[in-house]
A = this chain, B = another copy of it.
Amino acid sequence: MRSDRLGETLLSKRLALPIFASDPLSSVAYATQEILLVLTLGGLAYLFLAPWVGLAVVVLLAVVVASYRQVVRAYPGGGGSYEVASRNLGPSSGLVVAAALLVDYVMTVAVSVAAGVDNVISAVPSLHPHRVALCAGLVVALMAMNLRGVRESGRTFAWPTYLFISGVLVMVALGLGRAVAGDAPVAESAGWQVRPEQAGLTGLALALLTLRAFASGCTALTGVEAISNGVPAFRPPKAENAARTMLAMGAVAITLFAGITTLALVADVRVAEHTCDLVGFPGDCTTDPQRTVIAQLAAAVFGGGSAGFFLILATTALILVLAANTAFNGFPMLGAILAQDRYLPRQLHTRGDRLAFSNGIIALALNAAALIWAFDGSVTRLIQLYILGVFTSFTLSQAGMVRHWNRALAAERDPVARRRLHGSRAINATGCALTGLVLAIVLATKFTHGAYLVVIAVPVLFALMRAVRRHYDRVGAELEPEPGALVLPARVHAVVLVSRVHRPTLQALAYARATRPATLTALTVGIDADEVALLRRQWDERDLDVPLTVLDSPYRDITEPVLAHVGRLRADGPRDLVVVYIPEYVVGRWWEQLLHNQSALRLKARLLFQRRVMVVSVPWQLESSHRRRPDDREPVAAGRPGSPPPIG
């Protein structure tokens, strides 16, 4: 996409919602399930806590949405949590957020793909043995799609998202309606018992179990901040439209989550972390899979093999894959922003640079695939690593917003405006306190279940990015020029490396002479006496009028004698410049590269370490090089100014 066309594709709210909401909405597909899973570790006895845990999640969701509506209004530039934290809390906090977000993008891909495959397997159980392969295949497919640069239009996102929303809403409405009418839907697992892993919990243990269930349910919040990164893509008034879309997204997410959770409780859905804890599970509990909560609900409401059942599962799987795909856009984009701030290698910044983006996409896919493989594609196990990063960035950005309002309050005198600012600050302070609390809960309840990996990964990333920044800062200071005009070198010594008298050599000599150096020498290293004699003879025959210097190489090495010769030339004068011309072959096939230029490349790498030395590659295009640049043959009709040869 051309830079100057970017402005033409601003999003209406109707299209923005599905584009930004696939990630947060898709997470309701597994949040309820994870709450039930954790609670049933204590047996069916504690399922009575599920509505309260669900309610807590809903409240948290509402608070976070409200908080981020403030972010959208205050920072319409779209930097998101990273910008908010950097600007208000300092670059270190921003960097922590960035590290957490990078980890989170990887987790989004891993968890979303695993959950998507989970729903596919619920529809077609015979695919269960291929779970990891299916996940890996999906990740690779997403990677390939993004590497090829296939950009989805808003419409690609729109229909599965709206289909998912309406499908789930219809299912919930039908199911709850039947319950009100006295004919409540019954899940296939309603009659099963659950063998508690932690029986007879009391006091602290029960509280911990409840908190763990809550922490797992908080996965429903992942992706909520997506809109705050995308404000510039909205139609004006950007901030207001984004805030409204955020409100709509929050409302839909809360409705879907509350609906699915209520329906699951009404239909008596039973799930367990370990299938063998389910008494009454048909089939072999060591190999056969449980169905997802969504699948069980769809089966209970629409019937097991009905079109409704398959439609619900298909749209659920699809929206989960779309959620994974958003990470493939977000990860390299965050990389570009970090590169602009010099926390990552500079080349990632050039947005048009395919290669840099490709590296990001490949890194994301490889890490996600490795995690899926390490955790057997289990959503329940992967999710332990997920929300630590999310809530780290939530907490820090909300804290940043509190500082932001404090600063605004210090400058504001108008009482009405001050009251508004006080209100905003209260919202963000609540958000900060709540998300901080959740962060502590997640850390405490999930640390040993896998979250420790994130606790290691985030500081490592942080330290790496800080090291990169320090390097660039040091280099920047080193490169700061002194004032004054250009200081030209006193004399230029040109040295042309020669092995035989052939066309590339003659071309290099001609080009070197064209630069009118103070001295011009042809240099060769004498290894084989016969070859040197032949070279001298050909040199004299040609009457080249350039002195030929033959360097002695007692150890049959090329590099050191040339380096020593260049060193001597440099020592001639403290402001002299030595220019070394190296004829190089340009070939068209990769294996031809192995047959040429090897010693030249090594010599060159060494020469670059000397000060006041320039190395000139004088390319000679062998016939085969036209395989790669068929358009660059010497033009037949020379000199058509203004019509450059096509380059592609």
Show the binding face of A for B, using Cβ within 8 Å: 2-4, 345-347, 350-353, 355, 468, 471-472, 474-476, 478-481, 485-489, 492, 501-506, 509-511, 513-517, 527, 542-544, 553-558, 560, 563-564, 567-568, 570-574, 577, 579, 584-586, 592, 594-596, 598-599, 602, 604, 607-611, 613-623, 625, 628-629, 632-635, 638-645, 647
Contacts and interface: CB of A to CB of B under 8 A. Distances in A.
A641 to B, nearest CB: 6
Contact of A614 (B480, B616, B623): B616
Contacts of A487: 510
13 contacts: A2-B554, A347-B599, A352-B557, A475-B585, A479-B503, A480-B502, A568-B641, A570-B644, A586-B608, A608-B617, A609-B628, A610-B632, A615-B617
A623 B632 CA distance: 40
Given A3-B555, A610-B629, 9 more contacts: A345-B594, A345-B595, A346-B598, A489-B514, A511-B577, A609-B619, A609-B621, A613-B619, A616-B616
A599 B513 contact: no
A643 B564 CA distance: 10
B643 A527 contact: no
Q: Select the residue from A487, A492, A608 with max chain B CB neighbours within 10 A.
A: A608
B644 A571 contact: yes
Nearest to A480: B502
A333 B222 CA distance: 64
A492 to B, nearest CB: 5
A641 B517 contact: no
A481 B468 contact: no
How many monomers of this protein are in the complex? 2
B510 A489 contact: yes
B602 A556 contact: no
Nearest to A618: B614
A564 B632 contact: no
Nearest to A492: B514
Q: Select the residue from A554, A607, A633, A644 with max chain B CB neighbours within 10 A.
A: A644
B475 A492 contact: no
B571 A640 contact: yes
Given A488-B510, A510-B489, A616 B615 contact: yes
A602 B639 contact: no
Given A515-B517, A567-B647, A571-B644, A475 B622 contact: yes
B513 A515 contact: no
A599 B350 CA distance: 9
Closest 5 CB pairs of A and B: A352-B556, A574-B638, A567-B644, A479-B502, A515-B515
Contacts of A554: 2-4
Contacts of A620: 479
Given A347-B599, A556-B352, A556-B353, A632 B616 contact: no
Contacts of A594: 345
A113 B573 CA distance: 58
A578 to B, nearest CB: 10
Contacts of A638: 571, 573-574
A509 B516 CA distance: 17
A563 B643 CA distance: 13
Contacts of A625: 609
Contact of A351 (B511, B556, B586, B607): B556
Contacts of A641: 568, 571-572
Nearest to A553: B352
